[in-house]
Structure formats: structure tokens, C-alpha cells
Structure 1
């Protein structure tokens, strides 16, 4: 054998070894590091190339130009899947599970856990059986730009990996506050992916901050009135007991997500449950009538423990859904139908705000002994944790009830000039049509008062609060207006976006702040003359003015407001000021 043949054989053997080496960066580092973006996507591309069951595809690009990728893992014919998606059909016997990793890209255990689990499904095939009745969609990294803002110092509370990504995107958006308003290009792409595939179950992986305790991983599911009641029951009574039992059997302590009633007081104040806001993933998917699981590993545990605890949760969830795929798909289909039946046809009020009861249960919590000491640095009492395990009896506040609700109209009407709202709604898969001709209708409208802007910007927007008055008015709906029927599966999302009292509505997020801005003003010498004429022509108005002078000292001593009293009642006043342009319409029989 000549030297050339020997070299070629050697190179072929090196390439073969490299191709068969499926060890992740996490594993090869001794479980203390995580792969960068290029290493991660290369691993997923190799999975695609190595298995007929895997298909890596892009679904968007980040502001810094990185591809957003998703891996489809299925035993189904992909052509048939595409045809079925186009037709809006779904087989009862197969469920689709979406895993979203790295929405906060410093919290990246889900990515490494997914890589190992996918290797066991696609390469070693020891877990291939999981694909018998489920399709899997895995987003390796959602916040790809934040993922590459890598540093040892990105999360002060977190124990590894050696370098981790940043919480927010390159544009400084927190993606897990953006599910409803969808300001970021990443979220817009994600919503299109979700609307296209309409997954049956969603897993969102995170690392939690907060108190210290023994549990490797915590979780949250929606089970209150913000989700279809049958779905909530299925999650809390069927899925959760299985999840807790099996994850514990796999060697990891697991507990519901730990939120302290009073963060300064620590566990002494008790822990709470809650109905998630739809700006968060679990709250958003509740509005989509889909069960979801929030995974939160504990920040102080070693990175290795956190990754394998996440893997245990993912694997356990797959096992449960594999055995209950038909039930899950049917549950979701019924939730879609029931939302329309209850809130559109029967006009049952939709709960939109929730409050936590002061009732509690006492539960045993696996924490650590801790004490409270006066801090010389902060000047206040501090909590000092020890390494001594202790079962603590804590108060668990988990009774959440609806605090406000809305009866949903048959249609929302959005004037043509507010088309940006409609464009944003399209990302959520919301359907609409345009009016063909001018139409006179009696509609319900809102007018705002006591409008107050937030002192600081939040997620790139100046939020606004207000009081509301509802009234009826006959209006001409011009041709070209956007008509949004509510008898569609997205009825809950439509309501939360368009009803002003909802905390994730367009108007509260500051999409429409210009409607609160007065654009025309009077000159005082002009208004003096007009006010005098108005009093002379209208004795009742004069009496009203004099009464207000007598009863309101502040008004009496404010020359501008005295003139403004008449301006607001004159034909010159802008009647569109503080008027919500979106209208409600319900057919009357």
C-alpha cells in the first residue's frame, strides 16, 4: 500500500469517527459548558442528515441575521404532513409536541437536554418508540442573538454553564413578554410557526431565580379559568401526577413552580399559584386552547443536574403523550369547539382577570434551614441559607378565581386606518374580512377617561391605564373596514387583544396612544367670546357652570378650566378624543 493510499484511508477513518461521534459539547466538557450557536445548529443538521425521521428547517431570521431553526422529528410522510397542514386537518392518533428552548438564552438546559434525547431517539434508537404516536418539533434556540452574547457573567444567580447567553434579544426584547404584542421579529416568526403547525402540547424550558430549596426542577401548568376547563382538569389531574411520579423515579426532586407570596419575607410568607398572563408562554397557549408545560430548573444546582432533570421532564412528557395521544388531540379539538360555543353562541362571560384567595393549604416543602440576620451592607434584614436539608411546612395559596370578565360580541370592527393592528393579528392566525360597502350599524363603543401613562417604558412601549365608559352609537361603517368575526378558535386571543380592559390588549400596550392626545386648542380671548354667547343662548348651561363654580373650589380658581368647560361642550370640541376606534357589534334577532 503506497503512502497516498495510507493517507486517504486515514483521512476517511478520521471523518468516519467524527461523523459517528455524537457527544455534545456539554458532555465532552465534563458537563460544565454548552455549545455556541454554530455548534448547536451543526449538531441538529447532522441529526437531519443521519435520520430519515428528522428534518431541520428555518422559520425566520433574527435582527443580527441568524437563522431561527426548528427540527421536525416524525415517522410520518412529511409530504402528507404538509398536505394535512394546508387542509387544516389532523389525525386523531398522532399528537404534535413543540419544545421551545432558549427563549431566555442564558437559561439553556433545554437545548442540551434536547440534543441528548434526540440522539437517543434518532441515532442510538433506544427511545425511537416515542415516535410511535407523537411528532416532535424542537426549536434548539429561540433567542439566537442573545444566545451569542455569551459571557461568564450574564446571570449572577446561576451556577453554570461556563459561558451562557443573555436574557433578551439584540433589540433588548424579553421574548417571554412578547407573545401577545409580537413586537420582535423573532416572536412574529414563532407565532407563524405556531399558527401553521398548531401543536397539541408545548414545553417551554427555563432556569428559575428565587429562593433556595432542594428541588432540581419545578414546573407550571395552567388549570384555572384562563384555559378550557377540561384541558385544565386533564393537566392537573392526569398529567401532573404522572409527571411528578416518573421524574422522581428518574432521580430528580420536582415541585410546582415556587413563587413566594412575599419575596422579602421568604418561605415564611407562603408560596402561591397563579393564572399566567398571556404575555407569557403558558398563559398565551391557554388562550390558544392548548396545554403547555413551563419547566424551571433551579439556578443553584450544578448545570449537569439541571440538564438531566430537564431531560427527565421532556422524556416523561413524551412518554405520557405517546400513551395518551388520541385523548390529547380530541381534548384540543373539543376545547376549540367549546370556546366558540360558550363565548360566541351562548355569550358566557370570558374571565380576563384573576385574583388569589387568602385561603391556603399547608404542604411539606423540601427546603434548607435558613436564618435572618441584619445586613451591614443593605441595612435591612437578609436571608442566609445553609446546606442543611429541612422539610418545612409552608402555606400554599392556590385558589385563583376570576376577578373580571367580558361578554364577547359577534364581531369587532377595526377602521381601515388601523390596519397595523390587523397585520399584528395575522401572526396569531386570526381571520378577518373587509366590508364591501358603507353600512349603517348600531355598535358598542368605549370612551376613556382618567388616562395615565406609565412612568417608565416597558418592553419598548409606554403602557397606559384608564377608566372606561361603554355606550351605543349609530355609525356608518365605511367600505374597506376590517371585520373580525369571533366565531373562530382564536376567540380568546381576539378578545384579549381588542378589549381595552385586558392587560395585554393593544391599547394597554401603547399601540394607540395617539387617541389620547388633544390636537386642537383655543385662544383664551376667542373662547371668552364664545363662552359668553353659549351662556346667553343656553340658560341651563349657565346654571350648570355656576353650580360647578359653587361646588368645585379647584375649578373656580382655574381660569383655563373654566373656559375649557365651555370648549368641551361646544361644536368645536374633538369628539374622537379618548374614543376607542375599535367597535363591537352583535347581531340582534
Structure 2
């Protein structure tokens, strides 16, 4: 039986109840431009309504004050936080980084009692159009600092990042996030540099990411909550969350077992008591046909959850449901935050033991390729939205028209199978010239030793075949290869080169970044463009007689050349390509062409 199955069966189905104050949030759009019509919102109410400050309250948040129609700007948010910090000895604020446009990235710490307590880190606005966590976090900070929630600080400190993608936050528009029901001024998903911060953890190109990685290293949180709002289809749940595919494909099995067990067992009942409807985050294989199933997949370290899995940081991605009203979503985000903090504090010894166990582990293999299964790993109950099917004159295809009622069904869960693995070496050797790669090791807190004298080493080296450039993704051109060919090679490693041992707490993260076959390796993210450039071009007056001599003295080479001519007409018609073929097989060839610059120390592994 899949370890996922008992968890999925334990997720209760709760029917919505009427909300006396539904929030429609009509955006302030230009009436002359087309407007999006969203599916109808169901009425809803719950105990979390009591969390909202009354009109006239001196500590009402900006979103509460405007009835959750809009979210405050960067300046308005931090002005409100500054006033709250000044009013409470429990709060302090710091700058942990800056954006590409120069905005400060702020973190607010809530602390009471002894120093050195473990930290729960909560971030909002990594996708700044998905800003529910910010407005919920302001309410929670207020209630901790000035009202009845200071008990949350008995066992842990809370560090809250209200706006992670601050530049994108300030590019607010009613035309951002058209699939989302409020607020009427969401920000943009990516940064002005075109980087999706939740695809940047591994490569760490954005200044925002570099600031966050430094904060993670310093705080070493026992829980990291990443607050989002979903895309995708309509369904009956308003608070959904996920972590490392719920344990099926985890790199941190002890941490994921705690999340799958204690965390879920404590958080879900709390969120339900507040009137919300939690569920694992449902990602549909086909959003117009749920019978095809919900997708569970491995997560690489480009994502917050995947990064936490490789770095042994308990990480939970929270996805409020985009089609629920903003007022409801903010209250659900508050309930999720509070429930997560309380359960973490309640079961802190077991969580710390799980973290220690995973950081002490040194797995023998790293899966580098997965394929979707053809059969389900489970069949689970699911509260879907009723819908009518019709043929659209616009798309010409069958579409869904959601109705304002739920229906109970069962859906398959489709997982993955591991189809390729590598064995991490004893250590990796990174040349001194790879300065950007060494800088990433520093950002990730990966330990290494720098050599002070040249050293000749025989290492496993990897050469690519059939390289091809992929699409532009988050500011980089990705690199793929048809094959990775390993062979021992003796070479001189120059002063300043670094040896990265696998035997360290972040050894598996090092493997995910430095093993060339890994899906989020720095090679795949285009950190070594120089290996795609063949040097040593030769003038034709030198290469032509050399090629003729090679043909005359080497029958096997001549046969291979003639075979290539017969089977590749384009090659046969290209004189320069033909001569390059001979140069590549001569002593003048560039031996660094397609050679991965990082060496693998496999002796003793």
C-alpha cells in the first residue's frame, strides 16, 4: 500500500455553509475593456470571522478596513508594521535583502522569553499576486503583539516575511491574476528580471533569492511556510497544502513522516474548527476531466518545497483556493498559520529529532529521472464542484461551466516511477574558474575545501553527447543532453579549486546541484556555457592536408567518414563541417569541448 493512502483517506469532506457577508470584490477595471467572468462563489461562513477587527478598531489592518477588496501597497504595509512594532516589545523588524529595484526586504520577528528558541519562518508574496498570506500575517502579528495570541511564542519564535517579491507587488493591476477572486489590485507573479522566485531556489540568480537563502541559513527554521494562492480548477476546498509529494518521493523521509503524521493530524482539525476546509493540494492531470486523476510528482530544488526536502528544512507550501472570496481566503490563511505554529510547538522534540535524522543520512542514490505511472497509487474521496459540459463556440471544444454546488466523487491519484538514478561520489571537484558555481555553494551553505597548491587528480569526468539548448526559463537558457558519458581522466586542478564532500548535512543538496544528470543541476540551468564552445579552429591550408593524411593512413577512420557521408547529406555538402570532423579526431581537438568541468571523486565510495 502506498504511504500516501492512509493520509488521503483521513482527509475529511466538509460541506460549505452560508456566509452572511460574502465578498465579491469587483475589480476596478476599465468598462471599455473585456472583463473576466468567474464561476459563481458559494456562500460560506466560519468561526474565523471572529478574527476580523471591527470598524474603528485602532489596530485594524488596511485589508480589514477596506472590506478585503484591496491589499495595501508596499509602503502602506510597512508603515502599518512599523507602527505595530513600535507599540509592542514582542516585535522587531530587520532588512534581510534588497530587490533588483532597490526595495528593502523586511522580516518581522515575534519573540518572548528566553533567547535561542527555534524559529517558524512564514513568507508571503513569493508570487505577489497571491498575497493572502500578507494580509493574514498582519492580522496574526497584531493578535500576538497586542491581543490574546502571545502564547504562540511560548516554545518558538515566529519570523514573518510579508512581501517577498516586493518589486512585483508594486506592479499591481486589476488585470493581474484574472482567474482569482480578489483582491482588486494583485501584483505580478515574477520579478521585473523575469524570474519566478519559486523556481529560483537552486540557481539563486535573483537578489531576493540570495537574501532568502541567507535568512534560511541564519535562522535554520524548524518549519518554513510558503504562502500561495492556487491556479487551476474549481473544487470544494479553501485551504490546501503540500510538501515533498506527501512522502512518496521525499528526500527527507523522517521530516516528511512527521509532516504526514503529526503535522497533518494537528493542523487539519484546527483549520476545520475555524470553519475552513483543508485538503492536500490537488493538481489535476486534466482539469476538464478529473476521472484522469490528481498528479503527485517529485519536486526538484528549484521550488521552495523541493529545496526544503533536499536541504532538510521542513517546508510546507500552502495554496489558498483562487476562486474562494478574498475575505474567506485571508481568514483561512490565518487559521493555517496559527494551526501550523501551534502543532510545531506542541510536537517540537519529535520534529527536531526528524530533522537531525535526515541531516545525518547519506543516501546511496539520487533519482535523476521520473516517469508518470500508468496505474493509480490510490483512489480517494474528493469534493468537486458540479459542472455542466457544453461545446464552446470560442474554443470549438467541450468546456466546463461550474455550478454553485459541490458533489462527492472519487478520483485516482497518479504518481511516478523512478527510471534513472546516480550514485553520488565521495566528493566533487569544482575548478577555480567556476566562480559563479562556488558562489552558489556559499549561498546554499554547502561546505567545501579550497586547495592552496595545484593537485593532479584522476577523477570521473562526464562528457555530453547531443547537447541542445532548452527554452528560456526564469532568466536562463537551460541545457539538455542526449547522453552523459563517464570516464576516468587525470588532470591538474589549479590553486583555488574546491573539493565538495558528499559527507555533510547538505550533501544531498550538493548532489542535486553538481550531479550533471540531475533535473535542477547547475549544468541544466546553464552555468557552464563555455563547454559548448569548441576552440582550436584551424585554417583550411592546415586542416585540409592534415585531413587527407588522416584518411590515407587510417582505414577505420576512412570507413567511419564515408559512412557519415552516406547517411548525412547535409554533412556531406558542408566542407567546413567535414574538416571540423577531422580536427575533432586529431591531437589539435579541444579536449574541453562538451566536457563537464566538475570532476567526481569516486575512489572509496
Q: TM-score, with normalisation over the residues of structure 1?
A: 0.88
Question: Which stretch shifts more, 327-336 or 200-209?
Answer: 327-336
User: Equivalents in 2 of 1:330, 1:22: separation in Å?
Assistant: 39
Question: Which stretch shifts more, 470-479 or 266-275?
Answer: 266-275
1:373 is aligned, of 383, 390, 414, to 390
- Secondary structure of 1:176's aligned partner: helix
User: Equivalents in 2 of 1:447, 1:562: separation in Å?
Assistant: 22
1:48 is aligned, of 74, 85, 93, to 85
Aligned residue pair count: 547
Does 2:312 match 1:289?
yes
Q: Which residue of 1 aligns with 2:68?
A: 31
Change (3 A) 1:376 1:123: same
User: Equivalents in 1 of 2:564, 2:393: separation in Å?
Assistant: 56
Q: TM-score, with normalisation over the residues of structure 2?
A: 0.86
Does 2:179 match 1:164?
no
Q: Which residue of 2 aligns with 1:385?
A: 402
User: Equivalents in 2 of 1:153, 1:317: separation in Å?
Assistant: 33
Q: Which residue of 2 aligns with 1:579?
A: 595
Does 2:486 match 1:463?
no
Change (3 A) 1:479 1:65: closer
Change (3 A) 1:152 1:559: closer
Contact 1:350–1:407 under 8 Å retained in 2? yes
Does 2:111 match 1:111?
no
Q: Which residue of 2 aligns with 1:266?
A: 289
Contact 2:462–2:484 under 8 Å retained in 1? yes
User: Equivalents in 2 of 1:66, 1:98: separation in Å?
Assistant: 21
TM-fit CA distance, 1:28: 1.0
Change (3 A) 1:153 1:538: closer
Q: Which residue of 1 aligns with 2:29?
A: none
2:207 is aligned, of 185, 192, 201, to 185
User: Equivalents in 1 of 2:546, 2:602: separation in Å?
Assistant: 41
TM-fit CA distance, 1:37: 1.0
Contact 1:260–1:272 under 8 Å retained in 2? yes
TM-fit CA distance, 1:562: 4.0
Does 2:253 match 1:237?
no
Contact 2:128–2:163 under 8 Å retained in 1? yes
Q: Which residue of 1 aligns with 2:343?
A: 320
Change (3 A) 1:35 1:543: closer
User: Equivalents in 1 of 2:455, 2:154: separation in Å?
Assistant: 54
Contact 1:225–1:401 under 8 Å retained in 2? no
- Secondary structure of 1:284's aligned partner: helix
User: Equivalents in 1 of 2:122, 2:567: separation in Å?
Assistant: 63
1:220 is aligned, of 239, 242, 260, to 242
User: Equivalents in 2 of 1:130, 1:352: separation in Å?
Assistant: 40
Contact 1:95–1:321 under 8 Å retained in 2? no
TM-fit CA distance, 1:389: 1.8
Q: Which residue of 1 aligns with 2:461?
A: 445
Name the structure where helix makes up a greater proportion of residues. Answer: 1
Q: Deviations over 1:293-342 (max 9, x none)?
A: 1111111111000000111111111111111112212221221112xxx3
Q: Which residue of 2 aligns with 1:127?
A: 149
Contact 1:224–1:401 under 8 Å retained in 2? no
User: Equivalents in 1 of 2:126, 2:575: separation in Å?
Assistant: 54
- Secondary structure of 2:256's aligned partner: helix
User: Equivalents in 2 of 1:186, 1:548: separation in Å?
Assistant: 50
Q: Which residue of 2 aligns with 1:567?
A: 583
- Secondary structure of 2:445's aligned partner: coil
Q: Deviations over 1:96-133 (max 9, x none)?
A: 11101000111111011111112221111x12111111
Does 2:263 match 1:247?
no
Q: Which residue of 2 aligns with 1:427?
A: 443
Does 2:309 match 1:311?
no
Change (3 A) 1:25 1:523: same
Q: Which residue of 1 aligns with 2:33?
A: none
Counting only pairs closer than 5 Å after superposition, residues 396-415 of structure 1 correspond to structure 2 as 396-397=413-414, 399-415=415-431
User: Equivalents in 1 of 2:188, 2:567: separation in Å?
Assistant: 57
User: Equivalents in 2 of 1:24, 1:534: separation in Å?
Assistant: 80
Q: Which residue of 1 aligns with 2:30?
A: none
Q: Which residue of 2 aligns with 1:91?
A: none
Q: Which residue of 1 aligns with 2:491?
A: 475
Change (3 A) 1:201 1:439: same
Contact 2:426–2:604 under 8 Å retained in 1? no
Contact 1:367–1:392 under 8 Å retained in 2? yes
Change (3 A) 1:132 1:355: farther
Q: Which residue of 2 aligns with 1:201?
A: 223
User: Equivalents in 1 of 2:61, 2:573: separation in Å?
Assistant: 75
Consecutive unaligned residues of structure 1, counting only runs of 5 or more, are 1-17, 82-93
RMSD: 2.2
Q: Which residue of 2 aligns with 1:489?
A: 505
